[in-house]
Amino acid sequence: MAASYSIGHPVLDDDHDRMIAAWRELEASRTLEAAKAAASRLMAEASGHFDREEQFMALCGYPDLARHKRLHAEMGAALRHVLLLPLLGKGGHEGFILAMRALMDKWVMAHILGEDSRLAPYVRAAQARLGGHRPAMAARH
């Protein structure tokens, strides 16, 4: 993961890497079907990530958990809305890519860089309590 995206938690950082990889795959897609497949993978990755991140936040006593969960719910709803655009016959491949790009630009800038970066001190504190070991949380499936 790019250092600027890292919060220091290997599982959550790996989640971010996989979501960004799915986004890059979507950007590189040549057909609407390929774009929808990449977007679907992105949605699945995001859903699992949100669950793991919220679990970690609860375990470490993150004080802004409720607001962060609302942001996750809003982001999931926005992603589901964009995923419906091709089914509604709106925009075709290019329109779908543009809608996803707008959503991802907001997500990457506002969420990973702004919101998730606030978790880094909690990751470091949890690791310090555990003698440098990774904080416990659900593994990826």
**Which pLDDT score is estimated for 66?**
96
Which residue is listed with tokens 């470091």? Answer: 124
**Which pLDDT score is estimated for 63?**
92
**Which pLDDT score is estimated for 55?**
94
In the chain (141 residues long), the average pLDDT of successive 10-residue segments reads 72 90 91 89 90 92 93 89 79 86 79 82 82 55 48
CA distances from 18 to 2, 24, 25 (A): 12, 10, 10
Nearest alpha-carbon partner for 85 in 105, 102, 100, 104 = 100
**Gap between the terminal Cα atoms of the chain:** 20
**Which pLDDT score is estimated for 1?**
43
Give the span between the Cα atoms of 115 and 52, in whole angstroms. Answer: 15
